[in-house]
Amino acid sequence: MNLKTPFKKAAIALTAAGVIGAGSAVGLYSTVVPVPQAHAASVSQSDSQKALNTLNSFYKPALNGHFPGVVSSFTVGKTTKDEVIKAIGKAPMPAKDADGFDVYGAEMGTPGYAFNYKLDKIREMRYFGTNVERQTNIGGITIAMVKKNWFAPNSVTTIKTGKLSQTKLTYIRGAYKLEFIFNSSTELDHINLLKK
């Protein structure tokens, strides 16, 4: 019984010495390791979480033929070109032919979109994300992140256009296909939404 009391005192003394020693070591090394690196690591985690939030924001709306955000009222196969123009204006870069897209470029925190029409209704929508702080948007979405959070895609295909080779992950969401077009395993170019 008496053994416990001296043991407690010794443990407390060693713990205090360890804390003081560790505190001294921290003070010694704090000048060697710059604080901004620790801050950068926390920002990276935050950017990654924001990118994951962006990824997940597409999951439910795609079931109803929608993208999240400013264009959430547009439905693939239903919304007309006139309704798009009335809501967001004429495309700064209009389609050059029937297979082309009306492109709305990304501006200061506003994501870029493109629309292709068939019989005057949206046939396909594309989401390009933002240019500013892209890593917090689709620039931070990787193939590994998509597969980890959405599991295996319904199909994976390779698209070749000249020298450019892209990987397309396709997820079936109800009556729609949500396609992630990657330039590399860590560079998401854009997201497509169209009917199956």
pLDDT in tens, 73-120: 999 999 999 999 999 999 999 999 999 999 999 987 789 999 999 999
Length of the chain: 196
pLDDT, residue 196, reads 95
Tell me if 76 sits within 8 A of 123, measured CB to CB: yes
Tokens 């009222």, residue? 73
**With the C-alpha atoms ordered 102, 106, 109, 111, is the resulting torsion angle positive or negative?**
positive
Q: How confident is the model at residue 44 (pLDDT cuts 50, 70, 90)?
A: low
> Has residue 169 got a pLDDT over 90?
yes
**Distance (Å, rounded) from C-alpha 82 to C-alpha 142?**
35
**Distance (Å, rounded) from C-alpha 51 to C-alpha 39?**
18
Strands (E), 119-186: 121-129, 155-161, 164-173, 176-184
pLDDT digit string, tens, across residues 178-196: 999 999 999 999 999 999 9
Chain-wide mean pLDDT for the chain?
Answer: 83
Range 63-79 average pLDDT: 97
More confident residue, 94 or 31: 94
Structural tokens at position 139 = 């620039």
Q: How confident is the model at residue 135 (pLDDT cuts 50, 70, 90)?
A: confident
This model's pTM is above 0.85: no
More confident residue, 92 or 43: 92
185 CB-near residues (< 8 Å, 6+ apart)? 142, 143, 144, 167
